[in-house]
Amino acid sequence: MIDFLRGQLVHYEAEYIVLDVNGVGYRVFCPNPFVFAKNEGIVTVYTHHHVREDAILLFGFPTREEQRLFRKLIDVSGIGPRVALGILSGGTPTTVVNAIYQENITFLTKLPGIGKKTAQRMILDLKDKLDGIGEAVYQTGLFAEPSAIVESGSAWTEARDALKALGYTETELDKVWHELKGSVSAEDTVDILMKKALKRLYVG
């Protein structure tokens, strides 16, 4: 089991990154590869090593929290690794966990690849198994309704802060938001906005 990789990012695409670890290039599929793309030095990617009859695949995440949630998701019947990646690209661990705790089927069915039956199965299978993932927010009772979290203004504020932490300037982010805001919907999560912004930043 490969639990994490630490190395130099040498290539990225819309679905994966390639990490050079001591001269070996590992292709790692990620919910949002552009999160890693800003890093010019050594990066750590928390991974899930997935083995099936016809392939051996690596899925990677910037945090242990995302790694843990991914592993919980693929334990749910009907959710494979690709669907789990889509869920994490469509919502942060906190918003996904909050929706499960609140049995918010409306929010869950807006995530990529999730229908009503799968959303119900997620709630049934995971509601009591997510300790430590979004737990601080859950315990204090402060988590907001996911539909409120994904409103374009508040979602962009959170996405903007995350992008600033990656090293982007106020000027760059103001320019990107000016280009994006006309196409942003209330259903766009923080991760979706980050992915849209990072694509524009790299094109620019």
Per-residue model confidence as pLDDT tens digits over 92-129: 888 888 889 889 998 899 888 899 999 999 999 998 88
Per-residue model confidence as pLDDT tens digits over 62-87: 999 999 999 999 999 999 999 999 99
When pLDDT is cut at 50, 70 and 90, the band that residue 181 belongs to is confident
When pLDDT is cut at 50, 70 and 90, the band that residue 36 belongs to is confident
Among 22-31, 38-47, 177-186, 190-199, the range scoring the smallest mean pLDDT is 177-186
What number of other Cβ atoms are within 10 A of residue 183's Cβ? 8
The tokens describing 128, both together, are 């009591």
Please, where in the chain does CATH 1.10.150.20 lie?
Answer: 65-144
When pLDDT is cut at 50, 70 and 90, the band that residue 140 belongs to is very low
Averaged pLDDT, 183-197: 78
d(CA 132, CA 139): 10
What pLDDT sits at residue 141?
41
Please, where in the chain does CATH 2.40.50.140 lie?
Answer: 4-61
What pLDDT sits at residue 81?
94
**Within 13 A of 68's CA, how many CA atoms are on the CB side?**
14
d(CA 175, CA 48): 36
Residue 154 has pLDDT above 70, yes or no: no
Q: Which fold has domain 150-203?
A: Helicase, Ruva Protein; domain 3 (1.10.8)
Q: Which CATH number fits domain 65-144: 1.10.3720.10, 1.10.150.20, 1.10.1060.10, 2.30.110.10?
A: 1.10.150.20
The tokens describing 132, both together, are 């430590």
d(CA 88, CA 32): 8
Q: Which CATH number fits domain 4-61: 1.20.1050.140, 3.90.1150.10, 3.40.50.300, 2.40.50.140?
A: 2.40.50.140
> pTM of the full predicted structure?
0.69
